[in-house]
Chain A
Amino acid sequence: MPATERLLDVKAKPPFETVVRDHGPTVFRVCCAVVGAHDADDAWSETFLAALKAYPELPAEANVEAWLVTIAHHKAIDITRTRTRQPIPTDVVPEPSAPSDVRYFDDLAAAVDGLPPKQKHAVAYHYLAGLPYNEIADILGGTAAAARRAASDGIATLRRTYLGELVEVAAPPRNTGRSPQ
């Protein structure tokens, strides 16, 4: 085995400070998109504290960003669950928005918040964290093709709800519930 390959084999695990510096801002974007700006600080803090605790056991060759996004995904679900439980103390999952609920948002954050969870997660993990769809499928369950579809459906929904775009040209027609311009 050539010496260079041997060197790559014994890849050192960097100090955790380097992980925070290199991935902190991206994980913050993901948290912000998934739980909203108000809870992003908590989601980020819980993610990095949990990551610090688990860090010694992480294999040195692991994809650190995918690992962090996976932790953030679970923390975000916990936070969302707590938040939705507070006003209505039941375990009933809220009804997904019906197509007729689609509104026009000036505010992208509100538009993202209105996405079905799977689309929101797929958009955040692919477009903000840059994860490939097979890694996203590992996080969300299902196939890479399903993750790709969820991300593209999410973007298509945002084109309607945020950009207010008419979608007949680019996507299959849907009843948007809005009057044509």
Chain B
Amino acid sequence: MINGEIITSDLERITGIDPDRMTELHNRLTAAAQRDGVLEIAYRTVDSPVGPLLLAATDHGLIRVAYAVEDHDAVLQQLADKVSPRILQAPARLDTVARELDEYFAQARRVFDVPLDWRLAAGFRAAVLHHLPEIGYGQTASYAAVAALAGSPRAVRAVGTACAKNPLPVVVPCHRVVRSDGAMGGYLGGPAAKRLLLDLEAAA
């Protein structure tokens, strides 16, 4: 059926879409989804001195910041499983936090004031994370001190877990929590990222 093949290949040729037009349709979709209240999670990535960061936000606020080592595709899948699969790449909702991160990395900002969606942190982990902004810019606190702040002085190990699973790193400053002996301790974005953030804040 040679001529049938000519027809189907010509049909594919005349119905194809170029990437620019696809991008336009995608933008139209995100705008319509936002208008109809079904864009449950908007996300984008931004470049930073600690590598590409994934930013995701619901209508309530920023819900996730993720380092590349966390695997951005895996993080988006977790968001689909735990929050909603109605997820689109839609940069506009992340404009403010992207700008604040730029200012932070340029040492022109010390505090983030975007609304946060805490849905991915529950129980004691949430309590720990809520106290982290009390550690000021350029300061550090030990895991034990944070445990005391959160009202459970003996839960030092649980503070370590809460920091390791912080859904909003950089913005919620788990990088300011260090070991009692002065050693830096672990970090979900890797030790180099923690060092860079602490040095950046110390130098400002």
User: Which residues of A come within 8 Å of B, CB atoms?
Assistant: 12-17, 20, 24-25, 28-30, 32-33, 37, 40-41, 44-45, 48-49, 52-53, 55-56, 108-109, 112, 123, 127-128, 155, 158-159, 162-163, 165
Contacts and interface: CB of A to CB of B under 8 A. Distances in A.
Contacts of B36: 49, 53
Given A14-B85, A15-B87, A159-B3, A108 B11 contact: yes
B29 A158 contact: no
A159 B3 CA distance: 7
B25 A44 contact: yes
Given A20-B29, A48-B29, A53-B36, 17 more contacts: A15-B87, A15-B88, A16-B87, A17-B87, A25-B17, A28-B17, A29-B16, A30-B15, A37-B14, A41-B25, A53-B38, A56-B84, A56-B86, A108-B7, A112-B11, A123-B11, A162-B7
Interface of B: 1, 3-4, 6-8, 10-12, 14-17, 22, 25-26, 28-29, 32-33, 36, 38, 41, 43, 76-77, 79-81, 84-89
A155 B80 contact: no
Nearest to A30: B15
B8 to A, nearest CB: 5
Nearest to B43: A17
A28 B25 contact: yes
Chain A at the B interface: SS class: helix
5 closest residue pairs by CB, A with B: A15-B87, A29-B15, A32-B15, A28-B17, A127-B8
B88 A24 contact: no
A128 B25 contact: no
